[in-house]
Amino acid sequence: MPLFENALSSPAELEARLRMHRLPEIGPKRFSRLIEAFGSASSALSAPASAWRALGIPGACAEARRAPSVRDGASAALTWLERPAQHLLMWDDPCYPALLAEIADPPPLIFIAGDPSILERPQLGMVGSRRASRPGLDTARAFARSLAGAGFVITSGLARSRASGRTGCRWAYNRCAGHRA
């Protein structure tokens, strides 16, 4: 299984995009602005801080580019991508969900646990709770199972910890698409 879906990106560009994604105060608009201005995430990360400031990017973003936590976060994402059925779609990937690309600020990266081809099917998002009651968990399971059985993909946020099962997604007949934008 490839580490990333976009054949146009090199491993160095993948790592650079993962690092940019980890920067403080970088949302979809700033991420896009940097790539458009410099042509690639690799070039953006190599550009001087003054060039970032000229684009209206906060100084905290430019300063954090070489922080160990940013590199460690990118490394952790690469490790996650090495596991079976883990994928990363980038907004310039032809497999990026068409409807998601139409929103005002589409996420530049989508981490997917499961089959990325189901992202074009009708979906419903389910949000969990850290303090879900037993009846709440049962209801979430029933909703997820029923909706998946009706053909909907149940999308959840790849929560880490005990909250990961709170959406009922894991009981939805393997028609779940986990994501972390």
For 49-80, the pLDDT digits (tens) are 999 999 999 999 999 999 999 999 999 999 99
Q: Is the pLDDT of residue 5 over 80?
A: no
Mean pLDDT for the stretch of residues 105-134 = 83
What average pLDDT score do residues 98-124 get?
Answer: 85
In the chain, what are the domain boundaries? 11-84, 121-180
Average pLDDT on 89-114 reads 87
Task: Give the per-residue pLDDT at 72.
Answer: 96
Q: State the Cα angle at 101 between 95 and 106, rounded to 5°.
A: 115
In the prediction, which pLDDT does 8 show? 52
Residue with tokens 């400031």: 53
Q: What is the pLDDT of residues 129-164, one digit of tens each?
A: 778 889 988 888 888 888 888 888 877 765 544 444
Mean local confidence (pLDDT), 17-31: 94
Residues 6+ apart with CB under 8 A from 14: 3, 4, 78, 88
What integer is the mean pLDDT of 76-102? 89
Nearest to 64 by CA among 54, 76, 52: 52
Query: Mapping DSSP to helix (H, G, I), strand (E, B) and coil, where does residue 181 land?
Result: coil
